[in-house]
């Protein structure tokens, strides 16, 4: 009788967004692994492994940029008031 020492799990996410490749719209598929994620297009051959650390760093940069842009959008634009002609 054989025993499985290491439990292997695989989580696959198929996103709602799609990308055009050669005139076809293909869904983005993300496969979760312990140390990295694999990003590929459904029905395409290429796959791209990305370390979770890199994904986190990119997300932090984008979050900081989004906060800055939201702050700029909420701030009223100051205009110089015209002085009445005297």
Q: What is the pTM of this model?
A: 0.60
What's the pLDDT tens digit per position in 63-74? 999 999 988 888
pLDDT digits (tens, 9 = 90+) for 2-42: 665 666 667 888 888 888 888 889 999 999 888 899 999 99
- b or e along 2-21 (b: 16 or more beta carbons within 10 Å of the residue's beta carbon)? eeeeeeeeeeeeeeeeeeee
């Amino acid at each position: 009788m054989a025993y499985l020492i290491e439990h292997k799990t695989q989580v696959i996410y198929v996103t709602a967004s799609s990308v055009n490749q050669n005139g076809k719209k293909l869904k983005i598929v993300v496969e979760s692994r312990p140390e990295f994620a694999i990003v590929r297009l459904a029905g395409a051959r290429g796959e791209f492994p990305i370390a979770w650390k890199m994904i986190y760093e990119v997300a932090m940069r984008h979050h900081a940029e989004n906060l800055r842009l939201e702050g700029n959008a909420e701030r009223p634009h100051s205009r110089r008031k015209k002085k009445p002609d005297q």
